[in-house]
Amino acid sequence: DAMVIQNPRYQVTQFGKPVTLSCSQTLNHNVMYWYQQKSSQAPKLLFHYYDKDFNNEADTPDNFQSRRPNTSFCFLDIRSPGLGDAAMYLCATSRPPSRGLAGGPRTDTQYFGPGTRLTVL
């Protein structure tokens, strides 16, 4: 089945120790997203890639970086994790906006992975 895979599902790191979270997809989607979801809160978009074009949200801290070496993989790097970075990190993919039949609305549903729960000690 085509899907979005995140590894690991649970990650423990130490305060200040760099950590990398991984996302891969078999959907061949052009767009990949990283969200941060803190406990009992809504997911918050950190950044997304449209093919190789990187789009950072204005309020994403510099501590968060991303790499997309190819269509299938995208990585989230946290350079110096703080206690406040403990959260669930969600990866999602979508096709780029494109019109449907007869010029209908653009359909670009996001498909989410299971998430990686990051604990910072």
Binding residues for other proteins, per CB under 8 A?
Answer: 4, 6, 31, 33, 40-45, 48, 50, 55, 90, 92, 94, 96-97, 104-115, 117
The span from the CA of 25 to the CA of 96, in Å, is 15
Enter the tokens of residue 59. 């309020």
Token pair listed for 37: 């979801």
Residue with Cβ nearer other proteins (3 or 18)? 3
CB of residue 80 to other proteins, shortest distance in Å:
26
Only one residue has tokens 């406990």, namely 39
CB of 77 to other proteins, least distance (A): 20
CB of 19 to other proteins, least distance (A): 19
Distance between CA atoms of 118 and 9, rounded to whole angstroms? Answer: 9
Find the shortest distance in angstroms from Cβ 69 to other proteins.
19
Nearer to other proteins, 43 or 81 (CB): 43
Whose tokens are 């989410």? That residue is 112
Which tokens in the block code for residue 48?
């997304």
Which residue is it, tokens 């760099």?
18
| Nearer Cβ to other proteins (15/111) | 111
